Structure 1
Amino acid sequence: MIGLANTPVLETERLILRAPTGDDWPAWRDFHLSDRAQYIGGGSQMTERNSWRAFGHVIGHWVMRGFGMFVITEKGGDAALGITGPWFPAGWPEREVGWSIWHPAGEGRGIASEAARAALDHVFNDLGWDTAVSYIDAENTRSIALAERLGARLDADAPSLDTGADEINHVYRHRKGSA
């Protein structure tokens, strides 16, 4: 596996969070081309070509910003279950902490919550952020529930995210020490 140099690895009770690698492409592609990715710009209308570009964006973010999304794996294995972490590409109104579970095996077990908590600890303690947002589609009730469990609150005054295809109107604010 070829990885990115000098990227941190986060560890929780059950999980390893590491930088994405080219080996994660098949798991990303399968997720991103499925309707499971409907709230992050993927789904049945996505093409493999555009999915490839989006995954390159995920990997390149580490190089361009020095931080990025972590691939979520279970200890003892390296299968990519999803992704979580800091995100701030050009054009984003604020720094974000996001998450998505790519594989059904990662659902219903608290994996997204455990991983997102580790990512929030990382941005607040290691990167020195005081706040971050999560841009969540209004119909993504599971992600909204997770944001609230993590201590985030709806911030009606924060600018929404215009992704070009649609506007995400729900902005959940995370503050250091609120989880």
Structure 2
Amino acid sequence: MFQVPTIETQRLVMRMPALRDFEPLCAFYASPRADFVGGQMERDKVWRHLALEIGHWQMLGYGRWTLVEKDTGKPAGIIGLWNPEGWPEPEIGWDLFEGFGGKGYATEAATAARSHAYGTLGWTTAISLVAPENHASRAVAQRLGAQRDGDFTHVRMGTLEVWRHMSPEDLSAGGMEAYA
């Protein structure tokens, strides 16, 4: 079985998704926050989605982490690397649970995920897909230094904006992480 790395940032722990994340995921997918990521789901579909999140790691050697606040130990979202069947290319994605937006957590964790993708996995590029109405997610992509790079139409989610992240070379030449 593939061993998922745990990543720590200043305020967060990024760990493998687990069964203990089921209830927080159910709350997320029952809320309007899920409207930007495919819509609300019943508990049985959330169960399958959690299995998909775990299985993504096993199948591809990377995936999304459960994001946990260090101070409280509470799950704050699910963030990381994503490339299921039908995706245009590898993505850095973020979904924050209710009450955890507006704290910079998505930017902090996505920066760590991008560093892992570029430094450990050897990726040379990455995108983030953003629903056109999701202004908060677009702002995260912009804070990460991503640039708008067209649209992608997903069979279930409709038209999504493609935001391309800076390459590893651009970041090392003075991009966003040089100022962190």
TM-score (norm 1): 0.88
In the other structure, the counterpart of 1:51 is 46
**Residues 2 and 58 in structure 2, CA contact (< 8 A), matched pair in contact too:** no
Instruction: Indicate the SS of the match to 1:20.
Output: coil
- Match for residue 152 of structure 2 among 155, 160, 168: 160
Q: How many Å separate the matches in 2 of 1:128 and 1:15?
A: 24
Following superposition, the deviation at residue 76 of structure 1 comes to: 4.7
- Match for residue 173 of structure 1 among 154, 157, 164: 164
Following superposition, the deviation at residue 161 of structure 1 comes to: 4.0
Residue type of the partner of 2:56? H
Across the aligned residues of Structure 1 and Structure 2, the Cα RMSD in angstroms comes to: 1.6
Instruction: Indicate the SS of the match to 2:52.
Output: helix
**Residues 147 and 164 in structure 2, CA contact (< 8 A), matched pair in contact too:** yes
- Match for residue 12 of structure 2 among 15, 24, 28: 15
Q: How many Å separate the matches in 1 of 2:22 and 2:35?
A: 18
Q: How many Å separate the matches in 1 of 2:22 and 2:92?
A: 21
Residue type of the partner of 1:169? L
Which region of structure 1 is more displaced relative to structure 2, 49-58 or 95-104?
49-58
**Residues 2 and 61 in structure 2, CA contact (< 8 A), matched pair in contact too:** no
Specify whether residues 34 and 128 from structure 1 end up closer, same or farther in structure 2 by C-alpha distance, changes over 3 A only.
same
In the other structure, the counterpart of 2:130 is 136
Unmatched tracts of structure 2, length 5 or more: none
TM-score (norm 2): 0.88
> How many residues are treated as equivalent by the alignment?
170
Query: Which 4+ stretches in 1 moved above 4 angstroms?
Result: none
Unmatched tracts of structure 1, length 5 or more: none
Residue type of the partner of 1:72? L
Following superposition, the deviation at residue 95 of structure 1 comes to: 0.5
1:118 lines up with 2:109 in the alignment:
no
Residue type of the partner of 2:45? N
Q: How many Å separate the matches in 2 of 1:83 and 1:47?
A: 18
**Residues 86 and 96 in structure 1, CA contact (< 8 A), matched pair in contact too:** yes
**Residues 93 and 161 in structure 1, CA contact (< 8 A), matched pair in contact too:** no
In the other structure, the counterpart of 1:63 is 58
Cα deviations across residues 13-61 of structure 1 (Å, max 9, x unaligned)? 1111111011111101110111111100133xx2222222222111110
Instruction: Indicate the SS of the match to 1:81.
Output: strand
In the other structure, the counterpart of 1:107 is 101
In the other structure, the counterpart of 2:141 is 147
**Residues 96 and 133 in structure 1, CA contact (< 8 A), matched pair in contact too:** yes
Following superposition, the deviation at residue 91 of structure 1 comes to: 1.7
Residue type of the partner of 1:11? E
